Amino acid sequence: MTYRASYRDRRVMITGGLGFIGSTLAHQLVDLGARVLIVDSLIPEYGGNLFNIDGIEERVRVNVADVRQQSTMNYLVRGQDVIFNLAGQVSHIDSMEDPSTDLEINCRAQLSILEACRRYNPSVKVVFAGTRQVYGRPDSLPVTEQHLVKPTDVNGINKAAGEYYHLVYNDVFGVRACSLRLTNVYGPRHLVKHNRQGFIGWFIRLALEDAEIQIYGDGRQLRDFVFVDDAADAFLRAGASDASNGQVFNVGGMEPISHRDLVELLIEVAGSGRYRFVEWPPEKRVIDIGDFYTDSSLIERTLGWRPVTPLRKGLALTLEYYRAHLPHYVPTASTQVGAL
């Protein structure tokens, strides 16, 4: 049986399932015949959007709940075969302005979920959505999983703690768990109403609106990007295999690209938009990590995953999606200046 076929009739819970990656997972799981429970708080600024499950809303169950509530988690985890744990606060700037909320969601809530699993469903498999931000400024490139964990912001610290909770519960309590350290994920269903959850979704919106994209510095800093369908496939592989238990895996793109080349490619594919270079804002410069791209060979060797969607194709698919559905993501269309 293939890893994809293994999800037929399995009970799968997705925390943060109305968000960007979670809803993409839900669409794929429904197609695979899984019995999907989506849990999402629908906090307005965090990316949950009921339109993200358009077309599958009758084939999933949705529970609007906050993962910080222990009693709710105790109830919801029961009977689940796999939990894809994507609930989190992902804004680096917000984490610096409101560190307590970031702590509550990215640390305390993770313990609530894991404690519920330990006490009420210890045989479940949990796949955690980690982040490349835990590495901080890289000492060498490409970054492997052996790189020192040394975050540059509060969000990175709390995401690292949430990841380690999963590994401890795997090693000590036998709750099978692993973490995927995601690089810059992009694609349809991304939050684009503000620019605090990563720059690429915001840039895509600006290009569609034929607005100006501001690039910080000289635009030579390198990043890698992974299309959301490819990222979802990494979750499916990790959730289906015990070879992932207790492991952390980088999930990165095909090859690095500079910010300038990325923006030029985006504008070319969109046929609209423009850009200029601006000075770094001090509050963003201090937490910037410089060049960063990952080595994803460990997950390829262990689970057979690798990215398959070229950046140009992924951008074209994303632009096509938002051209059709932008009003569901930007309630009042406006032309704004955005920056990287």
**Rounded-to-integer distance, Cα 17 and Cα 162, Å:** 18
Beta pairing class for 125-131 and 82-85: parallel
Rounded CA-CA distance 53/202 in Å is 21
* pLDDT band at residue 25 under the 50/70/90 scheme: very high
Residues in the chain: 340
| Segments making up each domain of the chain, as ranges | 5-183+226-251, 191-223+257-290+310-339
Q: Which is nearest to 248 in space by CA: 335, 165, 154?
A: 165
Average pLDDT over residues 307-334: 91
Q: What percent of the chain has pLDDT over 70?
A: 95
CA of residue 223 relative to chain centroid, distance: 15
Which CATH number is associated with domain 5-183+226-251? 3.40.50.720
Residue 26 has pLDDT above 90, yes or no: yes
- Under 8 Å CB-to-CB from 49, ≥6 apart: which residues? 18, 19, 23, 189, 191, 328, 329
More confident call, 43 vs 21: 21
Is the whole-model pTM more than 0.85?
Answer: yes
Q: Which amino acid is at 294?
A: T
Cα–Cα dist 110/166, whole Å = 8
Sheet holding 176-182, edge to edge: 60-64, 35-40, 11-15, 82-85, 125-131, 176-182, 248-251
Residues 28-75 pLDDT 10s: 999 999 999 999 999 877 779 999 999 999 999 999 999 989 999 999
Q: Give 35's strand partners.
A: 11
- Residue appearing with tokens 């075969």: 81
pLDDT-based confidence at residue 280 (cuts at 50, 70, 90): confident
- pLDDT tens digit string along 100-146? 888 887 888 999 999 999 999 999 999 999 999 999 999 999 999 99
Residues in CB range of 286: below 8 A, 6 or more apart: none
Give residue 92's pLDDT band: very low, low, confident or very high (50, 70, 90).
Answer: low
What is the fold of 191-223+257-290+310-339?
A: UDP-galactose 4-epimerase; domain 1 (3.90.25)
What is the Cα–Cα distance from 38 to 201, expressed in whole angstroms? Answer: 23
d(CA 146, CA 150): 12
pLDDT in tens, 291-312: 999 999 999 999 999 999 999 9
Cβ-contact 192, 202 below 8 angstroms: yes
pLDDT band at residue 286 using 50, 70 and 90 as cut-offs: confident
- The arithmetic mean of pLDDT across residues 277-286, rounded, is 84
Query: Does position 321 have pLDDT exceeding 90, yes or no?
Result: yes
Do residues 185 and 82 lie in contact, with contact meaning Cβ atoms separated by under 8 Å? no
Q: Is 34 exposed, middle or buried (0-12, 13-18, 19+ CB in 10 A)?
A: buried
Backbone angles phi, psi at 146, to 5 degrees: -85, -5
CB-CB contact of 248 with 178 (8 Å): yes
**pLDDT of amino acid 38:** 98
pLDDT category at 332 given cuts 50, 70, 90 is low
- Each residue's pLDDT tens digit, 148-159: 999 988 888 999
| CA dist list (Å): 132 to 138, 182, 250, 252 | 10, 6, 7, 9
CB atoms within 10 A of CB 308: 11
Lowest-confidence region among 85-89, 189-193, 265-269: 85-89
Is residue 283 pLDDT above 80, yes or no? no
- Confidence band, pLDDT 50/70/90 cuts, at residue 335: very low
* C-alpha angle 52-261-319 in degrees, rounded to nearest 5: 25
